[in-house]
Amino acid sequence: MYSRPVLFDQSPTLVDSFSLLQGRRKLAVLFDESGREQVEALMKNMDKVPTASLLVSKDTPSQQISDFVAFQKMGTQICIVAKWDTAYHAFSLAVDEGASEEEIQTLIIDQPKRFIYCMKCFSTSEIPSNESAVQCQCSAHLEVGPFFSKLRKGYIGYPFIPVEQRQTVGS
Amino acid sequence: MFTQSMDFKTTDLTTFPFPFTSGNYRYSNDLKKLQNINCVEITPEYELMIRAKRRLLDEQHDVRFQSFPHTHEMQWEVLEMLVDMAVSRYPEHFEVKKDGQNWTFKNNILAEEESFVFSDSSTLELEPLDYIGRHFHNDFVMMVQRDDNYYLEVGQVSYAALFSAHWNKGMSFNEIHGPVPFVSRKGDQLADRVRQFLHSIEAGEPWTRINWNLMANRWDVNYETMDVWSPKRDLITAENAGELVRLRVEEQKFYRMPRSNAILFVLNTQFLPMEDLKLRQEWFDLAYSVLQDIPEPMAEYKGIAPYLPQTVEYLRKEDEKLKANQESEG
Amino acid sequence: MRVAGNIEVKVIQIIQETEFVKRFRFTPTDKLLLPAFAGGAHIKTFLQKEGEVLERAYSLVSPPRERNFYEIAIRQDDYSTGGSLYWHTEVEVGTVLEISFPRNHFALSYQAKHHVFYAAGIGITPFLTMAQDLEEWQTFELHYTARTAEQCAFYEQLKEEYGDRCHFHFSRSDKPQKMSPASMLDHRIGTHVYFCGPVNMVKDYRDAAASYGYPAKAIHFELFSSGQDNGPQNPFIVDLIDSETTLHVGENETLLDALLKAGIEAPYACKIGGCGSCELEVSEGEVLHRDIFLTEDDRQSRNSILACCSRAKNERIAIKI
């Protein structure tokens, strides 16, 4: 279903530290090895509500993650603590099970990845950190625009011609 | 190679939807109940616009028509509405024969006839909205209500002004208008305000508003061709602005479709070169007054910042000439 | 195809569903096809009664894609202000009336993985069409309370079509089974809940869902007596601070009407509380909000009134214009 949320660097689910949202009756945590310490500290302080957790690695079957989420009741807060790639994967499986951005908090251990969608060749590629312009594999020069598409899973890449090449502009 | 021959302008000034009613411009959503609910309109430029539209659709189909596979039922709903409107308003130009689900639609202006089974997309070469949309000079966008927002699920857009059916497919109303840097008098985000308004549009009660922009010697400006048209904006001077810069007016009509719960946007886009403003003195005065009043962020947002000063300078010179003439005559 | 205005229809069949519920079937008098609609839609009906027009809203219960006729189901309400009583006693086969286009303020969520419908009494009506319009990845269950099986409209039909997805709660049977909001504690993640019934029932379920941790977006409701969109039209006095004048707003006019009549250039656009154009700052007095434009937060944080539909809560209010 195309309009489901995706995890990106401006996702409203991204947090620096967890807080139990009002009314939530349970905490369900998905984490990878890099997030273990944070999760253990979180669990220690979480005496208000019951908790459940699932350690996710590269070898964890997607079905196992989906089942873990699907088993939860409404009123559960889903927490994801992991490096970007794992978090991204777990996030998309969680929203496929119907979890909404209002029910998920995501804590990234490394850095979020950003992607750009080329308006020339309609492909998505990663934006090297902090770059505001990139060259696509199709050789188009792209400026990173402000719009994000959940369908294309990236920021809009505005094609432009670098100043030194402008003499050769075609029609 | 894709070309944009800008050989089109509106000649029928009585139907040109001139957008300005006062000499200053505030960004607002001046919505009105639609009086003539039939959106089919045949202008003197009908044939020229249809040919251009079809050429653009054929040359870059992915850029100008997009849909999701699940939208066929809602596209048929729109096809039915447009066919019935066309036949009802212009029976001499359009005819339809409905034998149960077996329909034959005739366009007498273009001498075309097509038979198909209503609701069966396999009997049409194109998707239903792509097919019927090619008989009208308008752009069509279906924003489908899903939960609290509206999502672009079908679009046939050949007159884009900083838009792309391909890019905007699947995006919500707020995502499409995300970085609009404007707020209303009360500080609401404009996009939220319009979205709230869309909620109150009911089937059977269509609404309308007018949007405007300038165009620098182009038919449409898509995101896909930004590298081409963006540097060309710098070529506008006070000397050529009268001919090359056009007032682009987009009359928007909103229909709530009962079955799909979508809002159908029907967009009638017309162009008037700056020099033709002089055909009506009050239009010239209003346009000159508004354009010299546009704040910088608004010009940036509309994509006209690189050539707005030259355009205003052109109008200033023309205004001087007009006043000089009046004085010498008086 | 129809595009605008109201539709004239003629009643062609009346079916007694239960002791108090009648189902009415009508077809358009001009024989043109009716619009298909989406699950959860309702229509407004306009009945002529002794020179006045009775305007009421009822959920459609005919199949969403059926375009030859529409059906509505009406319970004769003890507290009827004339609408349901008139429908039950005066409307017969052959009666001609006007209806609006289908409208939908109670659409299915597209995000939901699982829908749960809670219906009290005649509040079942919107769910009949919603259950027919689910996406293929979505499931549903229905909780439906009535006094007895005999008084439970569409009981047999629901049992037959949806079987064990329906949970009936009969409050006056031999073994009374009360429907309770507590069942919402058990719904899986990705559930959206929908309530339709009397005001108190809807309020109880809304409050319960929020307290169980349901996000606001997962909670949907429609009041089953949505027949009248307008509450009481209390007259009030309004002091206009900037204009240094005072106006009386009568019971048959809106604040906006009164302002315009007095020659005040008040801004407005849609006139149905949807766009916010007519928002004015309130400097004194409480507001009875009737619009859909301002959210609950807005109402708290912004001291303002939408002149086209909202009114003073008490007899006097002061606004800046």
Is there a contact between A153 and A6 (Cβ–Cβ < 8 Å)?
yes
Q: How many Cβ contacts (< 8 angstroms) between chains A and B?
A: 68
Q: Can you name the residues that pair with A14 across neighbouring β-strands?
A: A106
Is there a contact between A147 and A120 (Cβ–Cβ < 8 Å)?
no
Residues 6+ apart with CB under 8 A from C87: C22, C24, C47, C56, C74, C76
pLDDT digits (tens, 9 = 90+) for A104-119: 999 999 999 999 999 9
A153 touches C at CB < 8 Å: no
pLDDT digits (tens, 9 = 90+) for A43-76: 888 777 899 999 999 899 999 999 999 999 999 9
Is there a contact between B175 and A149 (Cβ–Cβ < 8 Å)?
yes
Is there a contact between A171 and B228 (Cβ–Cβ < 8 Å)?
yes
Chosen from A74, A80, A93, A96 to mutate, greatest number of chain C CBs within 10 A? A74
| Residues 146-185, chain B, touching C (beta carbon < 8 A) | 146-148, 184-185
Spatial distance between the Cα atoms of B273 and C242, rounded to a whole number of angstroms? 43
C276 touches B at CB < 8 Å: yes
DSSP tag of C107: P
- Mean pLDDT, chain C, whole residue set: 89
The pLDDT score that the predictor gives to residue A170 is 46
The pLDDT score that the predictor gives to residue C267 is 78
Chain A residue nearest residue B227, CA to CA: A160
Q: What one-letter code names the amino acid at A37?
A: E
Distance from CA of A130 to the nearest CA of C (A): 33
Taking the CA atoms of A123, A127, A128 and A132 in sequence, report the sign of the dihedral they define. positive
Q: Which residues of C are less than 8 Å from A66 in CB distance?
A: none
Is there a contact between C206 and C119 (Cβ–Cβ < 8 Å)?
no
Displacement of CA C69 from its chain's centroid (Å): 21
Burial class (CB in 10 A: 0-12, 13-18, 19+), B327: exposed
Q: Which residues of A are less than 8 Å from B228 in CB distance?
A: 169-171
**Within a 10 A sphere around the Cβ of C15, how many other Cβ atoms?**
11
**Within a 10 A sphere around the Cβ of C156, how many other Cβ atoms?**
10
Q: In Å, what is the CA distance from C176 to each residue of C138, C171, C194? A: 31, 5, 23
B196 touches C at CB < 8 Å: yes
CB-based contacts of B184-188 (< 8 A; 24+ apart in sequence): B184/B28, B184/C276, B185/C279, B186/C276, B186/C279, B186/C302, B186/C304, B188/C276
**Within a 10 A sphere around the Cβ of B22, how many other Cβ atoms?**
9
- Is A27-108 CATH 1.10.3720.10? no
B252 touches C at CB < 8 Å: no
Is there a contact between B82 and B131 (Cβ–Cβ < 8 Å)?
no
Spatial distance between the Cα atoms of B267 and B140, rounded to a whole number of angstroms? 6
Mean pLDDT (whole number) for A22-30: 91
Q: In Å, what is the CA distance from B160 to each residue of A87, B64, B226, B302, B324? A: 37, 9, 12, 12, 39
pLDDT digits (tens, 9 = 90+) for C163-214: 999 999 999 888 888 999 999 999 999 999 999 988 788 889 988 999 999 9
Q: What one-letter code names the amino acid at C63?
A: P
Highest-scoring range by mean pLDDT, A87-91, B51-55, C279-283: A87-91
pTM, to two decimals = 0.89
| pLDDT tier at C228, thresholds 50, 70, 90 | very low
Distance from CA of C209 to the nearest CA of B (A): 18
CB contact under 8 A, A171 and B178: no
Phi, psi of C8, deg, nearest 5: -85, 130
A49 touches C at CB < 8 Å: no
CB contact under 8 A, A98 and C113: yes
Spatial distance between the Cα atoms of A108 and A97, rounded to a whole number of angstroms? 21
Phi, psi of A78, deg, nearest 5: -95, 125
Cα–Cα nearest to A156, from B150, B301, B61, B223: B223
Question: Following CA atoms C238, C242, C243, C246 in sequence, which dihedral angle do they give, to the nearest 10 degrees?
Answer: 20
The pLDDT score that the predictor gives to residue C80 is 64
Instruction: State whether residue B322 is helix, strand or coil.
Output: helix
Cα–Cα nearest to C43, from C20, C15, C17, C74: C74
Q: Where are the domains of chain A?
A: 27-108, 114-170
Q: What is the side-by-side strand order in the sheet with B94-99?
A: B94-99, B102-107, B112-117
Q: Which residues of B are less than 8 Å from C279 in CB distance?
A: 185-186
How would you classify the pairing of strands C114-120 and C139-146? parallel
By Cβ distance, the residue of B32, B147, B193 closest to C276 is: B193
Is there a contact between C277 and C269 (Cβ–Cβ < 8 Å)?
yes
The pLDDT score that the predictor gives to residue C78 is 67
The pLDDT score that the predictor gives to residue C95 is 96
Spatial distance between the Cα atoms of A73 and B280, rounded to a whole number of angstroms? 67
pLDDT digits (tens, 9 = 90+) for B77-93: 999 999 999 999 999 99
How would you classify the pairing of strands A76-82 and A104-108? parallel
Q: Which uninterrupted H or E stretch holds B5?
A: none
Mean pLDDT, consecutive 10-residue stretches, chain B (330 aa), reads 61 89 65 88 91 92 95 98 96 97 98 98 98 97 95 95 92 83 57 80 90 88 89 92 94 95 95 94 94 89 92 96 83
Q: Which residues of B are less than 8 Å from A156 in CB distance?
A: 167, 223
Q: In Å, what is the CA distance from C121 to each residue of B46, C46, C133, C226? A: 56, 24, 22, 14
Q: Which of A137-151, C4-18, C301-315 has the lowest mean pLDDT?
A: C301-315
Q: Which residues of A are less than 8 Å from B227 in CB distance?
A: 140-141, 159-161, 169
Give percent of chain C with pLDDT exceeding 70: 93
Q: At what angle do helices A84-96 and A62-70 cross, to 10 degrees?
A: 50
Chosen from B38, B84, B202, B257 to mutate, greatest number of chain C CBs within 10 A? B202
Q: Where are the alpha helices (DSSP H) in B210-270?
A: 226-232, 241-244
Cα–Cα nearest to C40, from C161, C217, C194: C194
